[in-house]
Structure 1
Amino acid sequence: MAEEPDYAPAPLTRFAVACNDQPTKSVQWYKALSDRQGPKYPYFGWQYGLSEVCGPWTDEPLQELPNLPASVRKNVLLVQSEFDPQTSYEQAMAAADKAKGINVLRVDDSPFHGQYASVGNPCVDGVVNTYLIHGSTTPNSICPSLPLLGETKVFPVRGPVDKYLESNSSLVHRLLAPKTAKSVDHGLRRLLGERLSDVNDLLR
């Protein structure tokens, strides 16, 4: 008889982590949010409030999150886009400030939530691969963004990463020439996106 796995993917596990990891509002609050956003953003506005499972979640966290030991911080690489719509830049940098000494890779002008191996950015993939394979990191790196789908160039926007571009303390990776952006394998990118979606569906 085959040995059973010691864990199984279950939506409640994901919800327990997510709902204990963020401020939780009431069911009525999320319903009101949906009513406000729905008419303005019909594509996703209604769903956001109504699909939020953390509204009725009442359990308090069973333990406090530990502080990241100083001895391992140099082994951590945080990858953050400048205009991430789901995990704000400010939120990520606040986490980095609590763990002084970690390595940070900022992606200038990027509006994408996923970065590594998901949008086809050779600069990001190269920096992360070098970190994973060789353990080579730098405390303060910057990569350029990719053009949005349907566009052929990036339109720079003034944001919080720009101060690092102007600083001598940053390592700016200029690996992304315009011709490189046009050579992205969009078929492979779509396939990877579909695989990631399948995994996310299993975790819901």
Structure 2
Amino acid sequence: MTGDTPDLAAMRRDYASDRGLDVTDLAATWPEQFGRWFADATDAGLPEPNAMVLSTADAAGWPSSRTVLLKGIDERGFVFYTNYESRKGAELRANPHAALLFPWFPLMRQVGVRGTVEEVDRVETETYFASRPRPSQIAAWASPQSRVLPDRAALDERFTATERRFPAESPVPAPPHWGGLRVVPETVEFWQGRTGRLHDRLRYRRAEQGEWIIERLAP
């Protein structure tokens, strides 16, 4: 691949080696395994290791994808925050199923998730919102996300007007149309690049009665 820096090229050779990924390498649970790989991505200095591609589909089946940021993970699933009135919010109301992809390219690794989507508890949303930088809080109120704007100036004017609405000395509450969504996984797949394109794909899948099984998939 052209354009690699020496460091990235060496990293790719290292992670795409024949050591591969075997079932015996995996943690007992997908949250623990994800934590291991997330730590590797963070330690490797990847930019925005918590960036994930979120794919949704509307009621007619038309798909759309965008990058969002992972803000929480536990055995219940993967949490991100958004405007509920955005395109993704509307699509998830009509079809509450989604896919996530963590594309850690320099490590030759991907994690793919499929599952259902639910709103997080409102207290959890408000706690997270209070931790955000004030400009981000103002933006959550000011932006009519996914709607058509006449120009950039219109958005800037909305931001300025919202700043006046919430004086600097007062806290900014979480908008009622904004909050957390949790992707509750049915499958979590760990993909490890290998030489010769015979990659390793190991998947945790929720089976009957909620137990998880691990399966190897052909590349």
Per residue, is there more helix in 1 or in 2?
A: 1
Per residue, is there more strand in 1 or in 2?
A: 2
TM-score (norm 2): 0.24
Considering Cα pairs closer than 8 Å and 6+ residues apart, tell me whether 1 or 2 has the greater RCO: 2
TM-score (norm 1): 0.25
